[in-house]
Amino acid sequence: MMLKPYSLGALLLTLSALPVMVPSAVAVPAAAAVAPAASPEGHTADQIGRFLAHFYGKHGPSAHDRRHHVSQVLLERQTTTQSDVLLCAQNEPQDIGIGPVTVAQAAGVGWATVTTHWAADETDTFTVYVRLDSKPIRVDDVICAG
């Protein structure tokens, strides 16, 4: 029997549940918490947020973005499933919203919750992961909520 390695998303969900203790002397004001435009550790939260807003747009990624801005794992996963792995759906949503981006420098990854809007005020959410060192920046993994 061949076991699949845990996905990056599962690891990050586990890491995000761990408590983080920051000494009060090191606490950063909320306005200064936004990462700078460039970082030696990789993409910043702001860069990832702008990338995801462009990547997903209002109705989903373009054919070009699907080919050039996703990991090889997602490209392969898309060929083996009927649903759209980048949207966790089978149809095109009416609108898409990107939530705040979280960056875990130690794990080398950032992620955000994506909300898709459908007819009759229905919504769905999923989590998108981006490797901080990806060049060009690309979607590394998508974990569907349901």
pLDDT for 41: 67
C-alpha distances out from residue 24 to 21, 28, 66, 101, Å: 9, 9, 43, 23
Q: What tokens appear for 111 in the block?
A: 């992620």
Q: Is 10 within the bounds of a domain? A: no
Q: Is 26 within the bounds of a domain? A: no
Q: What tokens appear for 123 in the block?
A: 């919504």
pLDDT for 21: 40
pLDDT for 145: 85
The domain tally of the chain equals: 1
Looking at this protein, which amino acid is placed at residue 120? A
Q: Is 31 within the bounds of a domain? A: no
Q: Does 72 have pLDDT greater than 60?
A: yes
pLDDT tens digits along 26-53: 333 333 344 444 455 699 999 999 999 9
Q: Is 109 within the bounds of a domain? A: yes
Confidence of residue 67 (pLDDT cuts 50, 70, 90): very high
Mean pLDDT, residues 9-16: 47
The enclosing domain of 122 has a CATH number of 3.10.450
Q: Is 51 within the bounds of a domain? A: yes
Which domain range does residue 84 map to? 41-144
Q: Is 56 within the bounds of a domain? A: yes
pLDDT tens digits along 109-123: 999 999 999 999 999
Q: Is 24 within the bounds of a domain? A: no
pLDDT tens digits along 74-111: 999 999 988 999 999 999 999 999 999 999 999 999 99
On the question of a cis peptide bond just before residue 136, with omega within 30 degrees of 0, the verdict is yes
Q: Does 24 have pLDDT greater than 60?
A: no
Q: Is 7 within the bounds of a domain? A: no
